């Protein structure tokens, strides 16, 4: 009995020591997309505040490929010690795995969900010289030009891809998907006239919209974007089936110690409460929105169910 009590006390002491000492070396933050997109924006925005909060260096490691799945797959093989984390988003954590004939990893069970960072509507955009003034008019134009209309995405299996498919399903269109290696080249080709439409995060599109290089047709969230107050929601335009929001959050490999998760979640929450940082997210078309480990995990599970159902209904598969 005495030995059991001593072992328990030692265990408690070790846990307390781990929570107090972590982190003791630089933290690697994996980003599954090339520089220039919405996930990169979040990583760079959080890097310095997290370093200050954790009193340790945070090193961004870009691992683009396979719509973010390459990075997610790498995280599943990482040691669960809190020194390899990933900036997760909707594509590889709720969409892309279900487009494979065999699930490459289980987005719900093979990761530790630490905290949600942001959520936001997507924005549907086209060229400024396009005749459509909003999404309802674009749908009418697309139906009049059936077989000739396409939409761009930041890659097969990304949220930009599935938002196009959601639009196809909601409107009865059959637009051709044109995938790119990241949002940045997709935006450039849309501006150049190679494609007709892109539905992407405000963090990616707001500079081009405000600069007059792209025209916003609609936002996909339940309410208007404060940065685009004159742009209607899809619900306002009678296209409620197109509603969707994207998420970003901090995740680690499965089996991350509870004390490490709590330390990271606590500091992330503090960082996201900073007015200056919240303003940066708002100005980019996103919203700093913290959810703790349990709430974030439940949110991701529900999002998985939604997108997996669309993929089944549309009979989509990448391999």
Q: For the chain, give every domain's residue range.
A: 2-120+246-314, 121-242
CA angle 30-94-246, nearest 5°? 80
Q: What is the pLDDT of residue 38?
A: 85
Name the CATH code of domain 2-120+246-314 (choices 3.40.50.720, 3.40.50.970, 3.40.190.150, 3.40.50.300): 3.40.190.150
Helix axes 275-283, 258-272, angle to 10 degrees: 80
Q: What is the pLDDT of residue 1?
A: 53
- Single out the residue of 159, 158, 283, 150 nearest to residue 209, CA to CA: 283
Q: Is 137 exposed, middle or buried (0-12, 13-18, 19+ CB in 10 A)?
A: middle
Which residues, at least 6 apart from 228, have a Cβ–Cβ distance to it below 8 Å? Answer: 123, 202, 206, 209, 216, 219, 285
- Tell me the pTM: 0.81
pLDDT reported for residue 19: 54
Other CB atoms closer than 10 Å to residue 303's CB: what's the count? 19
CATH superfamily of 121-242: Periplasmic binding protein-like II (3.40.190.10)
pLDDT per position in the chain (319 positions), as tens? 555 444 434 443 444 455 579 999 999 999 999 998 889 999 999 999 999 999 999 999 999 998 899 999 999 999 999 999 999 999 999 998 999 999 999 999 999 999 999 998 999 999 999 999 999 999 999 999 999 999 999 988 889 999 999 999 999 999 999 999 989 999 999 999 999 999 999 888 999 999 999 999 999 999 999 999 999 999 999 999 999 999 999 999 999 999 999 999 999 999 999 999 999 998 887 889 999 999 999 999 999 999 999 999 999 987 6
Question: Is 121-242 the same fold as 2-120+246-314?
Answer: yes
Q: Please report the pLDDT score of residue 17 as a whole number.
A: 53
Sequence-ordered list of residues with C-beta below 8 angstroms from that of 143, at least 6 positions apart, any chain:
171, 172, 173
CA terminus-to-terminus distance, the chain: 58
């Amino acid at each position: 009995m005495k030995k059991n009590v001593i072992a328990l006390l030692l265990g408690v002491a070790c846990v307390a020591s781990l929570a107090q000492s972590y982190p003791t070396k630089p933290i690697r933050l994996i980003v599954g997309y090339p520089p220039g997109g919405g996930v990169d924006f979040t990583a760079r925005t959080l890097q310095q505040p997290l370093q200050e909060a954790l009193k340790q260096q945070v090193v961004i490691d870009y691992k683009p490929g396979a719509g973010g799945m390459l990075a997610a797959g790498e995280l599943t093989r990482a040691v669960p010690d809190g020194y390899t984390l990933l900036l997760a988003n909707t594509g590889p954590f709720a969409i892309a795995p279900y487009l494979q004939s065999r699930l490459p990893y289980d987005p719900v069970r093979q990761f530790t969900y630490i905290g949600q960072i942001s959520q936001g509507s997507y924005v549907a955009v086209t060229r400024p010289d396009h005749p459509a003034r909003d999404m309802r008019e674009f749908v009418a134009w697309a139906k009049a030009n059936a077989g000739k209309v396409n939409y761009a995405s930041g890659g097969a299996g990304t949220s930009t891809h599935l938002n196009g498919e959601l639009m196809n399903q909601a409107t009865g269109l059959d637009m051709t998907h044109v995938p790119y290696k990241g949002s940045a080249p997709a935006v450039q080709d849309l501006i150049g006239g190679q494609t007709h439409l892109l539905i992407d995060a405000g963090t990616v599109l707001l500079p081009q919209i405000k600069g007059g290089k792209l025209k916003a047709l609609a936002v996909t969230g339940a309410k208007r974007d404060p940065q685009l107050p004159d742009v209607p929601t899809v619900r306002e335009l009678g296209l409620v089936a197109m509603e969707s929001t994207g998420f970003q959050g901090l995740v680690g490999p499965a089996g991350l110690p509870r004390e490490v998760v709590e330390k990271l979640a606590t500091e992330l929450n503090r960082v996201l409460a900073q007015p200056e940082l919240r303003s940066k997210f708002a100005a980019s078309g996103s919203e700093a929105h913290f959810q703790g480990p349990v709430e974030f995990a439940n949110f991701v599970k529900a999002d998985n169910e939604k997108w997996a159902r669309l993929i089944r209904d549309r009979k989509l598969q990448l391999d």
